Amino acid sequence: MSWWPIALIVFGVNFTVWAAIGLARLIEETWRKRSLRKKLQQRGYGVEPSITVQDVAVLIPAHNEELVIKDSIEAIAALVPRCNIHVVSDGSTDRTVELAQQAGVNVISTRTNVGKAGALEEAIDRFDLVDRFRAVLLLDADTAIQPGYFDAALPFFDDPKVVAVAGAVRTRHERGLSLIGKVLVCHRQRIYAISQRLLKYGQTWRFTNATHIVPGFASMYRTSVLPYIEMNPPGLVIEDFNMTFEVYAKRLGKVAFTLGAVAVTQDPDNLRDYIRQIKRWGLGLWQTVRRHPPRLTLFSAMLTVLLLELLTSSMFFVLLPLLVVMLAVPAVYPEALSWPGLATVHTDVAEHMNLRVLLLAVTGADLALTCLVAVIERKLRFVALWIFFPFLRVLDAAVALYVFPKAWLSSTGRWTSPARRTVLERPALAGRVAVSAAVTAPAPKSVEWVE
């Protein structure tokens, strides 16, 4: 096997196709914006978005978020009126409610622990958001909205077909993290940077419009469609996949996405929380797929290709260490070929690939992606930590395969909240985006939030 099929598996067919479509979107939108700007200048006026921040409700579901809730509220309060901010505490046993009330925003608590989706559903009803506002921003309690978010996102609602606008996520690069914490955070930001630019950007072009998720950390929905979305169906551990699938399955409208609507979130800095989070995400995806049978639509076609590639690439990366060992051991220790069964297996593997091509294709493609992210983010730390990323891809693949059968077998729908880290300085509210510094705080008492 030559190097390029392996490199294509590492890079991804989906990324290749949607990156090309994204390039077409960039060219088309750049030309269209310049043409519109020229017409407006000739006429001597500009166009204000039909929906303004005054029309946007902010809804923050919170479960034991005392370490981060205050800073998230202050970040969003700099962009929208405080009276527009609503916090729903779902069974919190810490100071979440007290700190939210001190911040001067609207606060309610659920009577029992109903989970994030249940809390959102209850809050939308009790706050009467559908009748009082034209759009709602669903904001995680550990997420800080950045300046320019609404300027970039709200104009998309000028198109009456757009019912949701997905935000772009960045992870906090914090001080005081351990080496594994830095690796995990950079790995997550690398995934964000690649998937948003090479996947989601093309998927949400107005001529294609087929993305598999509107992330629930910081995205907006037109409130008029919320009554048609089943936010809290039984048996799902995550709500944002399901809400996105509902939009397409019920033909409610289009999903928009812009890289200019940025929110900074806090990702896990330890392997335990990281594995739990990606297990929950993977399980939520497959549970949602099970709930929504495929149809003859572009969305279903995109999703089918995406899932097939997820399974095949995951199997490749899980087998990768075994393939490397199978090819490397005889090369270093030829006598190993005399071991029972090894010679036959080695011969079968060596007929299709060799160690140099395998490692060159895997490391070369992965390093190229890392260098691309380093240029985009303007941070050399991605290249410095690159050696660890292929190992995390193997871990991600193993978890992806592990959760696949669980979605069809059984799931309690419960997850343990990850440990939060105290924010030491808030993101800048003007000018360039500043990255918040943080230190690891003691983990809260182990609590389970029904999702």
Query: What is the mean predicted confidence (pLDDT) over 349-362?
Result: 77
**Rounded-to-integer distance, Cα 308 and Cα 310, Å:** 5
For the cut 70, the answer to whether the pLDDT of residue 278 exceeds it is yes
What's the pLDDT at 172?
A: 81
Residue 204 lies in a domain: yes
**Residue 286 — very low, low, confident or very high, per pLDDT cuts 50/70/90?**
very high
283 and 310 housed in the same domain: no
Question: In whole angstroms, how far apart are CA 202 and each of 27, 118, 189, 209?
Answer: 12, 32, 19, 8
- In three-state secondary structure terms, 303 is helix
Domain count, the chain: 2
Same domain, 320 and 220: no
Asked if the model's pLDDT at residue 20 lies above 50, the reply is yes
Residue 236, pLDDT score: 84
Residue 42 falls inside a structural domain: no
User: Residue 339 has what pLDDT?
Assistant: 77
Q: Same structural domain for residues 260 and 332?
A: no
Query: What is the pLDDT, as a whole number, of residue 323?
Result: 86
Average pLDDT of span 123-135: 96
Domain that holds residue 393: 3-13+305-414
pTM of the full structure: 0.82
Which region among 24-33, 193-202, 314-323, 436-445 has the lowest average model confidence (pLDDT)? 436-445
Helix (H), strand (E) at residue 137 = strand 135-139
Average of per-residue pLDDT across 22-46: 73
CA distances from 80 to 57, 89, 148, 252, 290 (A): 9, 20, 12, 27, 38
Kindly state whether residue 328 falls inside one of the protein's structural domains. Answer: yes
User: What is the total residue count of the chain?
Assistant: 451
* Cα gap 327→349, rounded to integer Å: 8
For the cut 70, the answer to whether the pLDDT of residue 98 exceeds it is yes
Q: Is the pLDDT of residue 436 over 80?
A: no
For position 47, what pLDDT does the model report?
56
* Helix count and strand count (H, E) for the chain: 16, 12
State how far the Cα of 322 lies from the Cα of 359, in Å rounded to an integer: 13
| Residue in 264, 164, 259 with CA at minimum distance from that of residue 214 | 164
Asked if residue 47 belongs to a domain, the reply is no
Which two tokens mark 437?
């510094």
Distances (CA, A) of 20 to 200, 232, 256, 313, 410: 12, 36, 18, 20, 39
- Among 198-212, 254-268, 301-315, 418-432, which is the least confidently predicted range? 418-432
Residue 449 has pLDDT above 90, yes or no: no
Are 372 and 264 contained in the same domain? no
For residue 272, what are its two tokens? Answer: 């335990």
**Whether residues 429 and 380 fall in one domain:** no
- Kindly state the percentage of the chain with pLDDT values over 70: 85
| Percent of the chain surpassing pLDDT 90 | 55
Whether 34 maps to a domain, the answer reads no
Whether 89 maps to a domain, the answer reads: yes
Amino acid letter, 442: P
CA distance 69 to 164: 25
pLDDT reported for residue 112: 84
For 31, the token pair is 């030309």
Residue 53, pLDDT above cutoff 90: yes
Mean pLDDT of all residues in the chain? 84
pLDDT value at position 174? Answer: 75
* pLDDT-derived band at 258, boundaries 50, 70, 90: very high
- Residue 34 CB partners (closer than 8 Å, separation 6+): none
Same domain as 168, residue 317: no
Q: Are residues 64 and 119 in the same domain?
A: yes
Beta-bridge mates of residue 222 = 135
Q: What does the alpha-carbon distance between residue 301 and residue 295 come to, in Å, rounded to a whole number?
A: 8
For residues 186 and 208, state if they share a domain.
Answer: yes
Which residues, 6 or more positions from 234, have their beta carbon under 8 angstroms from its beta carbon? Answer: none
Query: Is the same domain home to 383 and 289?
Result: no
Euclidean distance between CA atoms 247 and 231, whole angstroms: 11
State residue 417's pLDDT score.
Answer: 53
